Amino acid sequence: MKNAAILLSLTLASMTAAQTPPAAPIAKPTTAAKAPESDVPACLTPAPRGDDGGKSRQDEVLRRVREAKAPVNVVFVGDSITQGWEDAGAAAWKRNFEPMGALQIGVGGDRTEHVLWRLQQAPLTPLDPKVIVLMIGTNNAGTGRDSGELIIRGIAAIVDLLHMQCPNAQVLVLDIPPRGLPINPLRGVVLQVNQALSQRAWGDHARFVRVADRFVLPDGRIDQAAMPDHLHFSPAGYDAWAEGIAPAVTSAMPKAKPAAQEPSAPQAPAPPADPPAASRTPRTGT
């Protein structure tokens, strides 16, 4: 009996152990999740030019801004089309904008993010410009990276920064010139961007200026006399561009106030003049 009791106890103990679930393993602490990367689009993230041929020009433009003697009445900001005022557009620049005391800081290949970076590195504030002419965005479209909406946001960010740096300046937002053959994706993006820019409420500090229509023929083709490669201007193209821009720049310049005149000293009234001989009363008597 004693052996039977022992055997029964062992049997019950083994059955209880088989029915008891194993203890859950202790969870080890996990490392913190990696913070998500910034979702700011590239066209809105200030960035310098890399080793793509634009760095030397970028540095030259930064030097120009830092060494310019204030005030500079008009500043042109943009990409290779703006830079071309030094080359194919030199004659048009000399006739139209050099007399205004203008400075151009165009960098070939620049996109909106490069202009934002340049303005951060060399603000225009010390120059105290009265008018800023901005034309940028064609290289953003050319990469295929940025949608029309992003290009508009990039241009608007530049206008906001210019207004912050130069609150007394009027910013002229030029439309992007057409590029390529009549039917191609780039022409469509540029047209959509220009339409949106023309309808945007810019406020008192900026306004949209449309000048690119003069480069398109009635059948939709680009006038190759003005834009031989369907992108950059010839001397004739710069003449036409200057004709479209100059009136807007002139109207944006603040009107000169008339000089105050010193009050003149009071003058004694002049003696009455003798009447003409024909109207004198004839004298009578002696």
Active site residues: 80, 229, 232
Q: Whole-angstrom Cα distance, residue 165 to residue 136?
A: 18
The answer to whether 70 touches 127, Cβ cutoff 8 Å, is: yes
What is the widest separation between alpha-carbon atoms in the chain? Answer: 188
Assign residue 109 a region (left: φ > 0; alpha: ψ between -120 and 50; beta: otherwise). left
- Give the length of the chain: 286
Q: Whole-angstrom Cα distance, residue 123 to residue 120?
A: 6
Q: How far is CA 135 from the centre of its chain?
A: 6
The answer to whether 76 touches 102, Cβ cutoff 8 Å, is: yes
Residue 131's SS3 state is strand
Q: Where in the chain does DSSP place strands (E)? A: 74-78, 102-106, 131-135, 170-174, 206-209
For 31, the token pair is: 């490392």
Residue 222's SS3 state is strand
Beta-strand pair 131-135/74-78: parallel
For 242, the token pair is: 């200057």
- Work out the angle between the directed axes of helices 148-165 and 112-121 (0-180°, nearest 10): 20
Q: How many Cβ atoms sit within 10 Å of the Cβ of residue 283?
A: 6
